[in-house]
Amino acid sequence: MLTCLASVDASSERADWAPFFEQLKVEGTIVIYDERPGTEGLMTFNSVRAEKRFSPASTFKIPHTLFALDSEVIRDEFETVRWDGKKRANPEWDRDQDLRSAMRYSVVWVYQQFAKEIGATKERDYLKRIQYGNQDPSGKEPFWISGNLEISAHEQIKFLKRLYRNELPFTVANQRLVKDLMILEAGHDWILRGKAGWDGKVCWWVGWIEHATGPVFFALNIDTPNGTDDIPKREIITKTILNSIGALNLNVEPSAGGNG
């Protein structure tokens, strides 16, 4: 994989997080940026890997939804995307969709349709505008899973920080909508937003936890030599680490949703 050429902020290497990966027998990295007062700021486990780019897989649904809304291939979260009638591996995909269900169940065919309507030229332009990874939508389709688009864990964090602050080159309304679609869990004083992704070899979990005192961003990727058996480990590791720094106080069982 290509190494990220973009510079990153000074990061604290958290070698003490190694057991969280070792216990589940996975190779990977996690980057956390903690903006709560009195915290360590940017923290990384496996800093070399954190700068390497991998396929974003379905974490790309976060910016891709912004592209689709901006280019008006879909109006809002209420518009229906008609199912083409083709049976797929995930039964949740075999029906009409809207943005909320397409994000929740990581429905790839919906975003393939968006990509076709947006067009390759405009996709590349959007990627350059938001400086997303290597900004390359070429190669096999879908380009965010099987093609040449790649992004590092550090770059994921930079993108998420801009989205959190409504600083991307899209309307504030559309950025707020995408953030609403990302909600996974919530308590009386926190909100967890995120998106998972898997390209068959590497899986991701990225997002942030909102607290009144500030957000805590996270981006994890791990290798998946055991296929789908490894996928639940991404959420377990991330939540365990977030619990360890006081950013969450949740059980570590993976939540329902698509594997993508």
Residue-wise pLDDT tens digits, 90-134: 999 999 999 999 999 999 999 999 999 999 999 999 999 999 999
Cis geometry, peptide bond prior to residue 232 (ω within 30 degrees of 0): no
φ and ψ of 24, to 5 deg: -100, 5
Whole-angstrom distance, CA of residue 248 vs CA of residue 244: 8
Is a pLDDT exceeding 60 seen at residue 9? no
Using 50, 70 and 90 to split pLDDT, how confident is the model at 258? low
Choosing from 58, 101, 106, 152, the catalytic residue is 58
In a domain, 257, yes or no: no
Mean pLDDT of 29-57: 96
Is residue 209 a part of any domain in this protein? yes
Angle at 232 between CA 11 and CA 240, to 5 degrees: 45
Q: What is the pLDDT of residue 1?
A: 40
Q: Which two three-digit tokens encode residue 115? A: 């990509």
Number of domains in the chain: 1
Residue 5 lies in a domain: no
In a domain? residue 7? no
Residue 253 inside a domain? The answer is no
Number of H helices, E strands in the chain: 9, 7
Query: What per-residue confidence (pLDDT) applies to 2?
Result: 37
The mean pLDDT of 147-162, rounded to a whole number, is 98
In sequence order, the 6+-apart residues with CB closer than 8 A to the CB of 73 are: 114, 117, 118
Q: Which residue has the higher pLDDT, 172 or 4?
A: 172
Q: Per mean pLDDT, which range of 51-55, 111-115, 142-146, 187-191 is the poorest?
A: 187-191
pLDDT at 237 over 60: yes
At residue 93, the pLDDT reads: 97
Does 106 participate in catalysis according to the annotation?
Answer: no
Q: Which residues contact 185 (CB under 8 A, 6 or more apart)?
A: 191, 192, 250, 255
Determine, yes or no, domain membership for 16.
yes
- 102 is a domain residue: yes
pTM for this model (two decimals):
0.93
Which pLDDT score is estimated for 219? 99
Mean pLDDT of 146-171: 98
Give me the CATH number covering residue 205.
3.40.710.10
Mean pLDDT across the stretch 16-28?
98
Asked if residue 6 belongs to a domain, the reply is: no
Domain housing 182: 12-244
